[in-house]
Amino acid sequence: MAVTAALVKELREKTGAGMMDCKKALNETNGDLEAAVDWLRTKGLAAAAKKSGRVAAEGLVGVAVAGTRGAVAEINSETDFVARNDGFQSFAENVTALVLQNGIDVEALKAVAYPGTGRTVGEELTHNIATIGENMSIRRAALVSVGDGVVVPYVHNAVKPGLGKIGVLVALESTGDKGKLAELGKQIAMHIAAAAPQSLSTDDLDPAAVERERAVLIEQARASGKPDNIIEKMVEGRVRKFYQEVVLLEQTFVIDGETPVRKVVENTAKAIGAPVTLAAFVRLQLGEGIEKEQTDFAAEVAALAG
């Protein structure tokens, strides 16, 4: 029986295996769909679909920089044990490098050729799920770049160069000394890893977040019983403090504990004799925002015991 694209698609939907694996299975079984399913099962490739619903909140964040361009990507697994697997780490490194080359659209990235396998990134992901035995995902990615300056990476809790639990990129635009810029970028990146700013400047901060904070502060100030004109001043003062907590340029630099980040950048510009602009930053922390399943191990054992 001829192996058609429609048949390959049907097998893929039925098993969750990669496109190339499905095509090979059908060729091996002369186009017999059910036999191809069994062929994939014997190879452990059809198991991937069964794992796709499980929560993957562990894994690694990868960073990669080439010239004035940098990428960061989060690749998830179910357990930290798998994140220590050499094969998973290699996959995370390769995916991050491909983000640097191809952009941050994760779905588009899955159609890109994965190096050395004859599979796409998406097919390699499915292959790894079946081979390693856990659900995995390419969750998100980001890029930053400058025209003239530096992009500096930093990885917190690194398991190896370029891979860890928190990945940071800092983009500094300047014609000044690149070595001095890189030193500043490394310090700011470490600050970002620790302080987790929500935005670069006050203008970039989500207006909805500001309004929510302002509403809370107004209610707190009213509880003091002070007149409205005093309440207004209290609220504005507390909003400024809120900015100092969540806006990178307004935060106190963790390296010295006293200088605003904005001033640190200005001081470096004076020292190198050229303007310096903190153009962008990205901070990805592994698993942030994922609701992890909470299990009661003792209850599970009791249930199994009947």
- Average pLDDT rounded to a whole number, residues 265-288: 95
302: confidence class by pLDDT, cuts 50, 70, 90: low
> What does the mean pLDDT of the chain come to?
86
User: What residues pair up with 71 in beta bridges, in sequence order?
Assistant: 64, 143
- Average pLDDT rounded to a whole number, residues 256-266: 95
pLDDT of amino acid 292 = 59
pLDDT of amino acid 144 = 97
pLDDT of amino acid 56 = 55
Does residue 111 register a pLDDT over 80? yes
- Average pLDDT rounded to a whole number, residues 84-90: 93
Query: Which residue segments constitute the domains of the chain, with CATH numbers given?
Result: 5-46 (1.10.8.10), 58-177+280-285 (3.30.479.20)
Mind spelling out the 3-state secondary structure of the chain? Answer: CCCCHHHHHHHHHHHCCCHHHHHHHHHHCCCCHHHHHHHHHHCCCCCHHHHCCCCCCEEEEEEEEECCEEEEEEEEECCHHHHCCHHHHHHHHHHHHHHHHHCCCHHHHCCCECCCCCCEHHHHHHHHHHHHCCCEEEEEEEEEECCCEEEEEEEECCCECCEECEEEEEEEECCCCHHHHHHHHHHHHHHHHHHCCCECCHHHCCHHHHHHHHHHHHHHHHCCCCCHHHHHHHHHHHHHHHHHHHEHHHCECCCCCCCEHHHHHHHHHHHHCCCCEEEEEEEEECCCCCCCCCCCHHHHHHHHCC
pLDDT digits 0-9 by tens, 186-197: 999 999 999 999
pLDDT of amino acid 191 = 96
pLDDT digits 0-9 by tens, 37-65: 777 766 666 555 555 545 556 899 999 99
pLDDT of amino acid 43 = 67
